[in-house]
């Protein structure tokens, strides 16, 4: 059976037909039923399509997410990937059971998460960085998530009120723990070894040229030795 799907203004965002097999559920496929609101907001050269499928979702939170997007996304694009998408889709979807996730220019958010954590607006900052990264699965996942949280640390609009910060180093930590642990390591590397480390690592990840030897090339030390130096003197 063929069913018509709304592919989120696909002609402008992703390639592909709006006619898809109902048995082939894809991330990009947002059913035509169940929309509470659909908005298209444009500021400068960027457009945010905001699809809300939860009638109880806070309008205040919605506006704060929109404001965060138009504040941080242009900054991320300018620094890390000037060829990033100019149209992005947010979907508030109660059927999504995680916190948030991103693929193909579409970010899905859990309304339940924002109901419980209304100050965690910088989930937006982290997730839209994945659009900017555009690594297409290349390189280690822990580097991908570490860079996204590094960006949240650098460009976040509400981290303190959201009770989000980089953690102190603990014995159980390792550089490949990803997210905030790895992000803090990257901040330290920029301070002590190479101020353009994240920019260069981001470029290699997107171009598919990441390799373990890159750590020594960018910092003068293999990653294991670098981590030991960091743990010995972790101040940032």
Phi, psi at 20, each rounded to 5°: -135, 155
Query: Is the pLDDT assigned to residue 197 strictly greater than 90?
Result: yes
Q: How many CB atoms lie within 10 A of CB 13?
A: 20
| pLDDT of the residue at 36 | 75
Q: Where are the beta strands (DSSP E) in the chain?
A: 2-4, 19-21, 37-43, 46-52, 87-92, 100-103, 106-109
| pLDDT of the residue at 150 | 98
| pLDDT of the residue at 166 | 98
Among 13, 139, 25, which residue's Cα sits nearest to residue 86? 13
Spatial neighbors of 207 by CB under 8 A, at least 6 apart, are none
Task: Please tell me whether residue 91 adopts helix, strand or coil conformation.
Answer: strand
> What's the N-to-C CA distance of the chain in angstroms?
57
| pLDDT of the residue at 214 | 98
Task: Name all domains of the chain by residue range, CATH numbers in brackets.
Answer: 1-134 (3.30.2010.30), 135-236 (no CATH)
Compute the average pLDDT of residues 124-136: 98
pLDDT tens column, 134-172: 999 999 999 999 999 999 999 999 999 999 999 999 999
| pLDDT of the residue at 10 | 31
Can you give the pTM of this predicted structure?
0.87
Cα separation, 235 vs 230, whole angstroms? 8
């Amino acid at each position: 059976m063929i069913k018509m799907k709304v592919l989120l203004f696909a002609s402008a965002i992703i390639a592909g037909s709006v006619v898809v097999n109902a048995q082939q559920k894809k991330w990009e496929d947002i059913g035509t039923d169940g929309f509470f609101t659909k908005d298209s907001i444009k500021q400068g050269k960027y457009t945010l399509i905001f699809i809300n499928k939860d009638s109880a979702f806070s309008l205040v939170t919605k506006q704060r997410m929109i404001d965060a997007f138009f504040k941080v996304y242009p900054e991320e694009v300018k620094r890390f990937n000037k060829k990033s998408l100019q149209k992005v889709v947010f979907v508030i979807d109660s059927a999504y059971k995680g916190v948030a996730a991103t693929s193909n220019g579409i970010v899905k958010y859990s309304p339940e998460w924002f109901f419980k954590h209304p100050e965690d607006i910088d989930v937006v900052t982290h997730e839209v960085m994945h659009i900017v990264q555009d690594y297409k699965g290349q390189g280690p996942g822990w580097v991908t998530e570490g860079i996204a949280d590094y960006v949240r640390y650098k460009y976040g609009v509400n981290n303190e009120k959201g009770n989000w910060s980089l953690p102190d180093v603990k014995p159980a930590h390792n550089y490949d723990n990803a997210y905030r642990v790895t992000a803090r390591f990257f901040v330290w590397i920029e301070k002590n070894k190479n101020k353009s480390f994240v920019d260069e690592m981001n470029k290699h990840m997107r171009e598919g040229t990441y390799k373990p030897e890159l750590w020594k090339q960018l910092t003068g030390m293999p990653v294991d030795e670098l981590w030991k130096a960091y743990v010995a003197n972790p101040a940032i």
